[in-house]
Structures are given as C-alpha cells and as structure tokens.
Amino acid sequence: MLEYAEPVTKLIDEFKRLPGIGSKSAQRLAFHIMRLPEADVERLIDALQEVKRKIRLCSECNNLTDVDPCRFCSSPTRDRSIICVVEEPYNLVAIEKTRSYRGLYHVLHGSLSPVRGIGPEMLRLDNLLARLKPENNQGVKVKEVILATNPTTEGEATAIYLSHLLKPLGVRTTRIAMGMPVGSDLEYVDEVTMDKALANRHEI
C-alpha cells in the first residue's frame, strides 16, 4: 500500500531536491506544511515567487540584487579602487560582517574545477576585466583585487588563475591569508592549515 497520498509524495519529492534536505527532513517539512495555516503557506509561496520575479545579477559585480547596479556598486561610500573577488554571493556576507572592508565585490558564481569540468569560461570573469578600465568604473582606477575565493583546491586554483590573468594588467593582486582560525587549538588543527600557518608566520 502506498503510504502517502499522491500530493504528499509530490511535495516530499520537491523538498528532497533542495540542497541539504534528505528523505527524513523532506517528510518532516511536508507534514509541517500540511499543518500550517493556509496564510503561512501563502506567505512562503509569495516569498518564493517574489525572489524569482525581482532578484537578478548585478551587471557590474554579479551579486544577487533587486536593483541594478546593486547596493554595493551604487554606494557613494564604498571605495571603488578595491575589488574583492568571491566565489558565491553568500561568501560576501562573511566579509561584510567584519565591517572592516569598504571596497567593492565581484562574484564569480563558481570556482575552477577540472574534475567537475568547470573551466574559466564558466566563471563570470568578463565584467571583472571590464571593471579594471577606469571608464567602466566611474573614472576610478582599480588599485587592488583581493582574491577571497575559498581556501580549497578549487578556490586556490581559481586564485592562481586570476592572479596570472590580472597581474599582467598592472593591478595589485592579493590573496586572503590562510592559517590557524582565531580561538582554535593547535591540538585539533589539520596539518595543511598548520603548514600554512607556519609558512605565513610574521614578525611580532
């Protein structure tokens, strides 16, 4: 006997397609939805529709935005001479939270991965190169590009590729530091991080 009615199975299947949601969670979510007041489900549906209707990529930095250019690219208080390159739109939040970065961003929407067949042509690089020309950057010359791709094989490969691409154009290219996370313990750190922490040691 089919355990669930067909609309229930369908909803569970849809939830299962979402990232990080397995069979059990999908089931729990579907049962939760069935118990929610109609108005709450309507609100969820509205939010889904609104995001699809209003959100696009910023034509300058590829960040997800409801206005083009995005709030960063159009802000008069951000320093247009520094661009921080990240892999994904949500990576930007980690940097904004420090409240110490005042430059602009550039979102690649991915990282190089020969294993998964992702080459440079699949990253959003065209408008990054365009922005280096002052005439495309409100007359401001970009002085530095910070490569803040993830400290993974893919992120590292992407950073190296970008540095080879950018340096010949005369722009200073930097990479975020890798080392011991603040508040961590030497006892538990992995050897690759420890190695980076040693190699990147500096005078105090």
Contact positions toward a second copy, by CB under 8 A?
A: 1-8, 10-11, 13-14, 17-20, 25, 27-34, 38, 40-41, 43-45, 47-55, 64-67, 70-72, 75, 88-90, 92-93, 96
CB of 169 vs a second copy, minimal distance in Å: 29
Cβ proximity to a second copy: between 25 and 113 the closer is 25
Three-class DSSP category at 46: helix
Scanning the chain, the segments in alpha helix (DSSP H) are 6-16, 23-35, 38-54, 91-97, 126-131, 153-166, 191-199
Kindly report the length of the chain: 204
- CA quadruple 59, 61, 64, 65: dihedral positive or negative? negative
Q: Could you tell me the smallest distance in angstroms from the CB atom of residue 168 to a second copy? A: 32
Q: How many CA atoms lie within 13 A of 160 on its CB side?
A: 9
46 in Cβ contact with 24 (< 8 Å): no
Kindly tell me which of 71 and 172 has the beta carbon lying closer to a second copy: 71
Nearer to a second copy, 93 or 198 (CB): 93
Smallest distance from the beta carbon of 16 to a second copy, in angstroms? 11
Comparison of 15 and 166: residue with beta carbon closer to a second copy:
15
| Radius of gyration of the chain, Cα coordinates, nearest whole angstrom | 22
Residue 98 CB, nearest approach to a second copy (Å): 12
